[in-house]
């Protein structure tokens, strides 16, 4: 993100000549200047920098010396922001942060999100819009730090996307009563949905309907894919569906059922699906087994290999059994693995068998 503020600050210095005053100020704050030089040397070339002022604001907010140094090392362009810009940003984040202690903690983790002041007015308008929408402040702070670019759009653009989603939800048979919960869940799972256009959202929904998914099934896919479906295009979805249809040798109706069972068949590109399918076949797993449990394609080849190896060590033959034991999250797998392990270790005891006791 070296473009942040880069164009705003020019230098009359000779090319490659650093601002010694800036460097001295950074040294005084125990900032690792070598690290700054390696990451974003252009910052050190600027005529104007506010090292002491920015450090003072951070300290006033509760940051200790180590925190200030860490923040400036990770986001050196912070020193090119004016104190006025930083104080405005501080006031803005106070709208959603519980206190300044929490704010400093977030700035330490995500300094670039805080020091991007270029879109201040859009950020403010979007925070107020999200609050009006009913999103809790802790969700908004998560958006600010992990998906800051959704705040760079004008609030009207984000509002337009939300209204399109609301209309789509109702037109697909969703109820007014559940709509707000559905939107909140979708946004909290995938805030990047707001980077799409209303047109793209409508095109993707129309593609699914043209492929004979019922309104209820489309809603089901939207929920299962956590909104990631809007980051696809009809072309990529079509290619993935054609690949799956050929790989599993199934008709349109059977393909639809496979996609509903495993939306990854729609979401992942052909090269990814092909690589994962080949990885499973190399392990001796049949197409019939994969077709029975397509969710296994949600896992990377490396994860599949690791899980097969662990199960094989227990004497579990994946080729002749079900793939269910491979499925799920890391936690799901560990639970399944534990059950198989304890079953194997449990001694076989027949309560009615005679006991051989030697005198």
Query: pLDDT tens for residues 88-117?
Result: 999 999 999 999 999 999 999 999 999 998
pLDDT at 322: 78
What is the structure's pLDDT at 6? Answer: 38
Pairwise pLDDT comparison (256 vs 320), residue with the higher score: 256
Q: Measured between alpha carbons, how far is 169 from 151 in angstroms, rounded to an integer?
A: 24
Buried b (16+ CB within 10 A) or exposed e, 263-287: bbbbbbeeeebeebbebbeebebee
Q: Predicted confidence band at 151 (pLDDT cuts at 50, 70, 90)?
A: very high
Q: At residue 307, does pLDDT exceed 60? A: yes
Look at residue 352 in the predicted model and tell me its pLDDT.
53
pLDDT digits (tens, 9 = 90+) for 215-272: 999 988 888 877 778 888 999 999 999 999 999 999 999 999 999 999 989 989 999 9
Which range (43-47, 300-304, 337-341) has the least confidence? 337-341
pLDDT digits (tens, 9 = 90+) for 337-354: 888 888 776 555 455 544
Q: How far apart are the first and last CA of the chain?
A: 82
Q: Read off the tokens for 358.
A: 């030697």
Burial grade of 100 (CB within 10 A; 0-12, 13-18, 19 or more): middle
Q: In this structure, are residues 194 and 161 in contact, taking their beta carbons and an 8 Å threshold?
A: yes
Instruction: Output the CA angle 247-252-257, nearest 5 degrees.
Output: 85
pLDDT for 4 equals 42
What are the CA-CA distances from residue 289 to residues 79, 257, 276 (Å)?
Answer: 58, 15, 14
Largest interatomic CA distance in the chain: 102
CA 234 to chain centroid = 22
- Assess whether pLDDT exceeds 70 at residue 356: no
Q: What's residue 337's pLDDT?
A: 83
Q: How far apart are CA 191 and CA 207, in angstroms?
A: 23
> DSSP assignment, residue 96?
T
| pLDDT for 1 beyond 70 | no
Q: What is the residue-wise DSSP string for 34-70?
A: HHHHHHHHHHHT-S---HHHHHHHHHHTT--HHHHHH
Q: Per mean pLDDT, which range of 73-82, 151-160, 283-292, 308-317 is the poorest?
A: 308-317
Task: Judge whether residue 80 has pLDDT over 90.
Answer: yes
Residue positions counted in the chain: 359
Main-chain dihedrals φ then ψ at residue 79, nearest 5 degrees: -75, -5
What global pTM score does this model have? 0.76
In the predicted model, what is the mean pLDDT of the chain? 87
Helix residue ranges, H only, the chain: 20-28, 33-44, 51-60, 65-74, 83-93, 100-109, 111-115, 120-133, 137-146, 155-171, 176-189, 198-210, 215-224, 234-248, 252-261, 264-267, 270-282, 287-292, 301-313, 330-345
Lowest mean pLDDT among 139-153, 185-199, 322-336: 322-336
Mean pLDDT of 22-45: 93
Q: Give every CB contact of residue 252 below 8 A, 6+ residues apart in sequence.
A: 211, 212, 245
Location of structure tokens 């899980």: 307
d(CA 291, CA 311): 21
């Amino acid at each position: 993100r070296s473009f942040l503020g880069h164009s705003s600050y020019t230098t009359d210095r000779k090319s490659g000549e650093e601002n010694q005053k800036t460097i001295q100020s950074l040294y005084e704050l125990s900032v690792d200047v070598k690290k700054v030089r390696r990451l974003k040397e252009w910052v050190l070339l600027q005529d104007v920098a506010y090292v002491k002022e920015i450090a003072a604001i951070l300290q006033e907010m509760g940051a200790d010396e180590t925190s200030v140094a860490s923040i400036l090392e990770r986001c050196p362009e912070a020193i090119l922001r004016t104190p006025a810009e930083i104080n405005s940003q501080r006031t803005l984040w106070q709208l959603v942060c519980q206190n300044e202690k929490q704010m400093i903690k977030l700035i330490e983790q995500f300094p670039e999100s805080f020091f991007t002041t270029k879109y201040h007015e859009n950020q403010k308008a979007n925070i107020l819009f999200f609050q009006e929408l009913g999103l809790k402040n802790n969700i908004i702070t998560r958006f600010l730090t992990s998906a800051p670019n959704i705040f760079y759009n004008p609030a009207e653009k984000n509002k337009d996307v939300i209204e399109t989603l609301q209309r789509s939800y109702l037109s697909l048979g969703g109820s007014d009563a559940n709509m707000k919960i559905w939107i909140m869940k979708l946004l909290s799972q995938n805030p990047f949905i707001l980077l799409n256009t209303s047109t793209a959202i409508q095109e993707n929904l129309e593609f699914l309907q043209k492929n004979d998914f019922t309104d209820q099934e489309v809603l089901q896919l939207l929920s299962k894919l956590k909104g990631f479906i809007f980051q696809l295009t009809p072309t990529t979805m079509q290619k993935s569906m054609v690949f799956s249809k050929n790989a599993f040798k199934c008709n349109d109706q059977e393909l639809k059922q496979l996609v509903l069972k495993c939306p990854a068949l729609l979401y992942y590109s052909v090269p990814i699906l092909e690589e994962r399918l080949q990885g499973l076949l190399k392990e001796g797993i049949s197409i019939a087994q994969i077709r029975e449990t397509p969710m296994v394609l949600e896992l990377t080849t490396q994860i599949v290999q690791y899980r097969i190896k662990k199960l094989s060590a227990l004497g579990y033959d994946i080729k002749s059994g079900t793939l269910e034991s491979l499925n799920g999250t890391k936690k799901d797998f560990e639970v399944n693995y534990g059950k198989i392990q304890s079953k194997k270790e449990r001694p076989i005891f027949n309560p009615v068998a005679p006991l051989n006791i030697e005198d």
